[in-house]
Chain A
């Protein structure tokens, strides 16, 4: 089954404790993205990747890092999480820049 998986689905952590949210897709897609979704603001892109070892900033990259060492994986790293990073995070993948985006199920992060 074609899918995008994220782990963990739920995470409660404390300020400053490094964390990684994993994202994996089995569709051999070139493009992958990370978004955060906050009430009243819609989805905002954090980072995106056009291929292995090629990443670029989205609209709200501050406080986040990503890596794309393999085509299927695109982890999101929060080196020092802060409460304003409490949000619902989505990973997405697509074959090309104008193709359909497929979203993962989301990771709900709470930073205390």
Chain B
């Protein structure tokens, strides 16, 4: 069974701080997606990384795919209250299906 472990499960920090969320597996993925989910809504895709070592930036968010395509990280610089939400990672497998992490609940306090 393929697993995708996210850490930490919960993170509460002050506005302006930096943070990193991790997504780890022993399996190799064809791609790795990061989503953000707000209460009462479905997940919204933030980014897809497909190449080992790939780094993508979305304003203050930096996403990295591990060289071996088994892990990924999301780094937020100078977090803002608007970054609050549940962050989910999902790994692509050979039959176009996704393996999902359990999520990291992030709270940014003003």
Please list the residues of chain A having a beta carbon within 8 angstroms of any beta carbon in chain B: 4, 40-45, 48, 58, 90, 92, 97-98, 100-106
Mark each residue of chain B from 29 to 67: 1 if its CB lies under 8 Å from any CB of chain A, else 0: 001000000001111110010000000000000000000
A96 CB, nearest partner CB in chain B, Å: 9
Query: Assuming A42-B88, A42-B103, is B42 touching A100 (CB within 8 A)?
Result: no
Give complex CA distance A90, B43 in Å. 9
Q: Is B102 an interface residue (CB 8 A)?
A: yes
* Chain B interfacial residues counted at CB < 8 A: 20
Q: Interface of chain B, helix or strand or loop or mixed?
A: loop
Q: Which residues of B contact A105 (CB under 8 A)?
A: 40-42
Give complex CA distance A44, B90 in Å. 11
Tell me whether B102 and A40 are in contact (CB under 8 A): yes
9 A–B contact pairs at CB < 8 A? A40-B102, A44-B100, A45-B97, A98-B92, A102-B42, A105-B41, A105-B42, A106-B41, A106-B42
Mark each residue of chain B from 79 to 110: 1 if its CB lies under 8 Å from any CB of chain A, else 0: 00000000010101000111011110000000
A29 CB, nearest partner CB in chain B, Å: 14
B70 CB, nearest partner CB in chain A, Å: 17
A66 CB, nearest partner CB in chain B, Å: 16
Tell me whether B100 and A43 are in contact (CB under 8 A): yes
